[in-house]
Amino acid sequence: MDFTVIICTYNRSNNLPECFKALEDQQNIEELDWEVLVVDNNSSDNTKEVVNNYASKSTIKIRYIHEKQQGLNHARNLGMSEAKGEYFSYVDDDILVNKVWLRSIYDAFIDNKADAVGGRIHLDESIALPKWILPDMYGFLGYQDLGETSFQMDGKKNYPFGGNMAFSRKIASKVGLFNPKLGRKGEGKARNELFKGAETDYFHRLSDIENHRIFYAPDAIVYHQIKDFQLEKKYFRTIHFNAGFQKAFFDDTSYNRLIAGIPLFLYNQFFRNAGKYLVQVIQNGSDKAFRQQMTAGNFLGMILGYHKKHKDQKH
C-alpha cells in the first residue's frame, strides 16, 4: 500500500465525519492505494460506532483500531505499527485537509526522496480569535505557515508540526517510536493532560540520523478547528507552564550551583520576567501583557520541574 492516514482520536466522535469527508474529497490520487486508520485512544463515547458506520458507506478505506493506554503518543505508536502504507501521516481529529493535501504530501516524498514531510496548518477562519491572542501566539494553536516555496527543513530549528506531519516507513524504523512520556493525554483540558513537545523530540531524533531529508510541502494545507477552551488564557498559561516543567523534569544536564535541585540562574530569570510582566500590566494593561505572563510562567514551570525531579531522586 502506498499511504496510510492515521487519525488518533479521543472522545471526539462528532468531529470524525467532517474529517473523513475532507479525506474523501481528495483530488488527483486515482492511482494511489491508500487507507485511513483511526486509532481510538480508549474513548468513552461512541467513536467505534461512528467510525464503523461511516466506513461501511465511504468511498475510501477506513479501518478502526483501539489503544487502551491513554496518551496521544501511545495512539501514534500503535498507528505507526499497524499502518500498511509505505508512507504514513498523522492528522488530528480536529483537522480538515484541503483537496490536494494527499497528492502534495505524496509527491513531496517521491520528488525529494524525503524521509519526512510537513505542510501548512491554518486556523479555521470562521473562528474569531480574542484580541489578546497576538499573531506570534498562533503557533500555540497549531498554526504553521513557512511560505509558499518548498524547502528542506533541518529538523532542529524548523520541522513539521504535529497537525500535519508524515513519515516514510524506512526512516520511522530507524528513529523508533514516539516517547509516551511526552505529549498530550486525554482531551488536553486539565493541567496534567496538556503537554507538548513530542513532535519536537521526534524530529530532533530524526535529524541526528545522517543524511536525513525533511521537506516542507506548502500546497498540503490543513485547517485546525479550534475548540472554545483553547481560546482561554488558562489554556495558554498551562501550555507554557507545562512546557517549562517538562523540559526541566527530563533535563539530564549537571549544574554546579543548585538550591533545592533548582539551577540558581532560574530564580533570576523568573523574577526578572515576572517584573517585566508587572511593568507591562501597569503600562499597557493585562491583555497586552499576557504574552509576558506566559514567559514568566514558563520559568516558574521549570523551577517546579527541577524541584519535583530533585524530590523524586531523594526518594
Percent of the chain with pLDDT over 70: 95
| Distance separating alpha carbons of residues 37 and 308, to the nearest angstrom | 38
- 189 vs 225, residue with greater confidence: 225
Which has more pLDDT, 198 or 218? 218
Secondary element (H or E) of residue 201:
helix 198-207
Q: 183, 201, 231 — which closes off a domain?
A: 231
Nearest CA among 174, 198, 175, 170 for reference residue 185: 198
Residues 204 and 304 in one domain: no
Cell numbers for 86, please give them.
509505505
Specify whether 10 is located in the same domain as 154.
Answer: yes
Q: Are 73 and 193 contained in the same domain? A: yes
Co-location of 10 and 101 in the same domain: yes
Helix boundaries (H) for the chain:
16-24, 47-57, 72-82, 101-112, 169-175, 198-207, 233-249, 264-284, 286-314
Q: Mind listing the pLDDT tens digit for each residue in 26-70?
A: 999 999 999 999 999 999 999 999 999 999 999 999 999 999 998
CATH of the domain at 218: 3.90.550.10
Look at the pTM and tell me if it is higher than 0.75.
Answer: yes
| Residues 144 and 222 grouped into a single domain | yes
Q: Which three cell numbers stand for residue 227?
A: 475548540
For 211, left (φ over 0), alpha (ψ -120 to 50), or beta? left
> Same domain, yes or no, for 16 and 144?
yes
Query: Nine-digit cell at 71?
Result: 496518551
What cell does 137 get? 501566539
Which residue range(s) make up the domain with 303? Answer: 233-314
Considering the domain architecture, whether residues 109 and 163 belong to the same structural domain is answered as: yes
> How many independent structural domains does the chain possess?
2
Please, how many CA atoms are within 13 Å of residue 300, restricted to the half-sphere of its CB? 14
The pLDDT mean for the chain works out to 91
Return the closest-CA partner of residue 14 out of 41, 48, 47.
47
Which letter, b or e, does each residue of 208-219 get, where b requires 16 or more Cβ atoms within 10 Å of its Cβ? eeeebbbbbbbb
Which conformational region is residue 38 in: left (phi greater than 0), alpha (psi within -120 to 50 degrees), or beta?
A: beta
| Residue 313 scores a pLDDT above 90 | no
Give the confidence band of 188 by pLDDT, cuts at 50, 70, 90.
Answer: very low
Of 173, 201, 231, which residue constitutes the final position of a domain?
231
DSSP designation for 130: P
Residue 17 has pLDDT above 50, yes or no: yes
Of 169, 203, 231, the last residue of a domain is 231
What is the torsional sign of CA 142, 145, 151, 157?
negative
- The tens digit of pLDDT for each residue in 70-119 reads 888 999 999 999 999 999 999 989 999 999 999 999 999 999 999 999 99
